[in-house]
Amino acid sequence: MTFDRSIKIAPSILAADFANFGAECEAIEAQGADWVHVDVMDGHFVPNITFGPATCAAIRPHIKGVMDVHLMIAPVDPYIEAFAKAGADVITAHVEAGPHIHRTLQAIRGAGAKAGVALNPGTPASAVAEILDMVDLVCVMTVNPGFGGQKFIDMTAKIRELRAMIGDRPVHIEIDGGVDPKTAPLVAEAGADVLVAGSAVFKGGSVSDPAPYGENIRAIRAAAEGTYV
């Protein structure tokens, strides 16, 4: 995984057909997805349950590019090794998920994955000030985590603040929640480069009719790159 600041679209398979993850991952990559975003929820840190490392390992062979695993679980540390072994390229933990984010990030890099840290809407940018040299990605949640299809919460001031704090470090700013062609330009202009989108990518399409996935990805990318009309 090499670092670059171009816009990357990361469809969240939370909005995919859960009975068909392998084919869904192949379909979104064929339709232009840059990364595949995988939402892990535990029914404890967030009020919803999805799946764990076994499912990640099962879908890994169906993803050619970056598998971006967003852990909405607490505690995190006991499960890092399992998600790394499952083939996650990026493992993102929430700063709110425990008292020891520094240790968690060390463990993620120690397991051979890129380290991400996520911030809930109520958490300020300053929460990551001391750990910016330990991360490859900062994920700014633009919804309260737990569900797809929620309304975008404007976090552009926080994104700008993070962009300035990050400076020249090779750290991605990822946005997660409510990203669509209307909200994408706001976050891209503020400094984000990885745009997660679930409902806005999967709407109107299916494994047997994947063309809408491509149209949706192109619309979000064009909007973020400033060419959307």
Ligand X SMILES: O=C(CO)[C@@H](O)[C@H](O)COP(=O)(O)O
User: Is 44 annotated as contributing to ligand binding?
Assistant: no
Residue closer to ligand X, measured from CB, 106 or 199 = 199
Site string for ligand X, 72-111 (x = CB under 6 A): ----------------------------------------
Annotated catalytic residue 176: yes
Annotated catalytic residue 42: no
Q: What stretch of H or E contains 220? A: helix 211-224
User: Is 149 annotated as contributing to ligand binding?
Assistant: yes
Query: Which of Fe ion, ligand X, none does residue 107 bind to, with CB < 5 to 8 Å depending on kind?
Result: none
Asked if 44 contacts 76 with a C-beta cutoff of 8 angstroms, the reply is: no
Catalytic residue among 42, 68, 89, 176: 176
Of residues 53, 178, 191, 205, which one binds ligand X by CB under 6 A? 178
Give exposure, 180-196, as e/b (b: 16+ Cβ within 10 Å): bbebbbbbbebbbbbbb
Does the footprint of Fe ion cover residue 39 (CB under 5 A)?
yes
Of residues 197, 217, 223, 224, which one binds ligand X by CB under 6 A? 197
Residue closer to ligand X, measured from CB, 39 or 136 = 39
Binding residues for Fe ion restricted to 123-182, rule: CB under 5 A: 176
Instruction: Pull the structure tokens for residue 210.
Output: 């994947």
Give exposure, 78-93, as e/b (b: 16+ Cβ within 10 Å): ebbbebbebbbbbbbb
Write the DSSP assignment of 12-44 as a string of letters.
Answer: BGGGS-TT-HHHHHHHHHHTT-SEEEEEEEBSS
User: Is 32 annotated as contributing to ligand binding?
Assistant: no
User: Is 198 annotated as contributing to ligand binding?
Assistant: yes
Catalytic residue among 39, 68, 89, 136: 39
- Using CB under 5 A as the criterion, which residues of the chain lie in contact with Fe ion when the complex forms? 39, 70, 176
Residues with catalytic roles: 39, 176
